[in-house]
Amino acid sequence: MKIMVVTPYFPPKIGGMENYAYNIGKGLKEKYGWEVVFVTSNYEERKYKEEQIDGMKIYRLPRWFKVSNTPISPLWLFSIHKIIKEERPEIINVHSPVPFISDITSLIAGKTPLIITYHSGSMIKQSSILNPLIVLYELLFLPMIFRKSKKIICCSPVLMRQNLKKYKDKANYVTPGVDTKVFKPSRERSTNDVLYVGRIEKNSDWKGIIYLLKAILIAKRIKPDISLRLVGPGDRVEYFKMYAQKLGINKNVKFVGSKIINELILEYQSSKVIVLPSITDSEQLPAVLLEAMASKKPVIGSDVGGIPYVIDNEQSGLLVPPKDPEALADAIIEILTNPQLAKKMGENGYKKVKENFLWDKQIEKTKKIIEESLGKK
């Protein structure tokens, strides 16, 4: 079996979609012997590049420019057509909703069966000048891919129920997973208090960092030595540094940039609680929470999108209303001041991950969906 996977970005770029596509592809190759070919943008250099990663062939296509988070090149139409012709995949799997590369692949796929893996709800952002274009895309172009696809894979059951009711007959959900051999508990004593892991970008303001900083200001009144570490890259780091300084919490907040995998593991292990303060349903099923729970850490998340599917409130963590720094601060203090509660939540979260979110299970589900789309048992 040969599968061609098309995704706007791919590792080493950090992101949920990138991580998901890589792990599913790698699992299909290693577990079932499938040949896996990736087509993606070359976000590092504006040149064509071919390489091998873990036995998978990667085509990195140069982009001409980028609109918001969307890489674009009109020449991809010809490049991808050529790759399909040379590779002759039995099935093509496009990842969306980041527009363009998946859309043109769908248009030129011809008779090759198509599956779409859909990662998010609406891309409409607060006060964005691009919203009219996004509305047009979501009303006209995205449904074209849904209709053409043999199967639709959603990254959370919430997304499947709320956004894809019209396509329920061919929609399935395969959540992100976690490797518990990589992300695991440590016997070392936690040293840091609060951890945030994710993008720190203008295009990702829906991650709710500004409300997390406000919550730290409130929590500092009860716990003056509270510390927050923010792991992740982005063009909003300096902005949030200045905002923390304006709030008078700059000594309590540290932006530590991107981390390689071993460093990220240590960040989880040395923290007492991991917080994801997202404010919209764009947050579907975040791998950050799974990685934290695999590390036996309590988690706090906003009651939006797919987060409630991951966090069992007051069992594996705490759910708080979005855009509510007071409620977020209360949740942080509750966990930091109650070690027994934190331990119970960490253990419950670890158990849930082991039962529901291992990569092996997600890879097996994906294989079954692909084979069904090809009429194979």
Looking at residue 138, its pLDDT comes to 74
Kindly report which listed range (163-172, 175-184, 270-279, 312-321) carries the lowest average pLDDT score. Answer: 163-172
Looking at residue 48, its pLDDT comes to 95
Q: What Cα–Cα distance (Å) separates residue 64 from each residue in 27, 38, 47, 75, 143?
A: 32, 20, 10, 9, 26
Q: Which of 73-77, 161-165, 203-207 has the highest mean pLDDT?
A: 73-77
Kindly report which listed range (69-73, 93-97, 286-290) carries the lowest average pLDDT score. Answer: 69-73
pLDDT tens sequence across 114-136: 999 998 766 666 656 666 777 77
Asked whether 297 and 346 are in contact (CB, 8 A), the reply is yes
Residue of higher predicted confidence among 106 and 157: 106
Residue type at position 360: D
pLDDT > 80? residue 269: yes
C-alpha–C-alpha distance, residues 14 and 55, integer Å: 20
Looking at residue 168, its pLDDT comes to 86
The mean per-residue pLDDT over the stretch 336-352 comes to 97
Looking at residue 127, its pLDDT comes to 56
Asked whether 106 and 114 are in contact (CB, 8 A), the reply is yes
* pTM summary value: 0.89
Kindly report which listed range (58-62, 100-104, 163-167) carries the lowest average pLDDT score. Answer: 163-167
pLDDT tens sequence across 32-46: 999 999 999 998 788
pLDDT tens sequence across 89-98: 999 999 988 7
C-alpha–C-alpha distance, residues 119 and 152, integer Å: 11
What's the token pair of residue 352? Answer: 């849930």
Residue 252 — very low, low, confident or very high, per pLDDT cuts 50/70/90? Answer: very high
Sign of CA dihedral 199, 202, 207, 210: positive
Looking at residue 159, its pLDDT comes to 77
Chain mean pLDDT for the chain: 92
C-alpha–C-alpha distance, residues 259 and 206, integer Å: 22
The mean per-residue pLDDT over the stretch 219-245 comes to 95
Say which residues have a Cβ less than 8 Å from residue 175's Cβ, sequence separation at least 6. Answer: 155, 156, 285, 356, 357, 362
Asked whether 229 and 256 are in contact (CB, 8 A), the reply is yes
Q: What is the CATH number of domain 192-356?
A: 3.40.50.2000
Q: Where are the domains of the chain?
A: 2-177+358-373, 192-356
Looking at residue 129, its pLDDT comes to 67
pLDDT > 80? residue 163: no
Looking at residue 275, its pLDDT comes to 98
Which of 313, 257, 264, 314 is closest to 287 using CA atoms?
Answer: 264
Residue type at position 253: V
Looking at residue 14, its pLDDT comes to 80
Same fold flag, 2-177+358-373 and 192-356: yes
Burial class for 262, CB neighbours closer than 10 Å (0-12, 13-18, 19+): exposed
Task: Tell me which architecture the domain covering 2-177+358-373 has in CATH.
Answer: 3-Layer(aba) Sandwich (3.40)
